[in-house]
Structure 1
Amino acid sequence: MSEIQLLTQLVARLDINQMAIQAAIKEVALWIRQQGAQVVADNISGTLETLSLNADFIAQGVADLTVAIEVRGWQKKPEQSQSSLNGGRTRLDARGLPITHHWCSTL
């Protein structure tokens, strides 16, 4: 796994955690509002709005990184994509992916 893939997965997991925490805080804010503390609930709602705005940016960034990884993977030359399987002699298709049709080798 490349460093950029690891970073993308890390940021995606952080984003998921942020959304889970945000949902829990919304529940607490609702309960606080029901208890009559409108000002506190409003302050929490304002802070949650900031989290929502940042979550959109983070989600777009993860999507952009994922696309960049895919594009970079497709642009590799076949000789750069070769696996170490069979001593690096793995046959690759036009996309640079290993050919797994083992039955062909017996013909």
Structure 2
Amino acid sequence: MKNQSVTNNLDWISIAIYITLVILGWLNIYSSSLSSIAEETSIFDFTQIYGKQFMFILLSIPLIFIVLSVDGKFYEKFSSVIYVIGLFSLAGLFVFGKTIKGQANWYSFGSFG
């Protein structure tokens, strides 16, 4: 069997739709958090919600390439293990979840939550 590169196996239409949705979502967050037109803002202001979202978008890019570079047969082979891990993660929220406004929906990892 011939060795094919990863870029030949990618669904470029889905990737383009994903990138478009991420950009539009970030622009919505950015535009809704601006308080005044006269105010100077920077997209790299990490004290604002749009700056934090921009940072998470940039940090997710390497993760996207790792997930896309893994062969699909890996996910087929370990789908049941991934499913069980997901179930335990959800069940663990009842014990280890951080309660915010009466709901335990998030894990807290230090200052990251």
- What TM-score, normalized by structure 1, do the two folds share? 0.33
Higher-Rg structure is 1
- Choose between structure 1 and 2 for higher RCO, CA contacts under 8 A separated by at least 6 residues: 1
More helix by share: 1
- What TM-score, normalized by structure 2, do the two folds share? 0.31
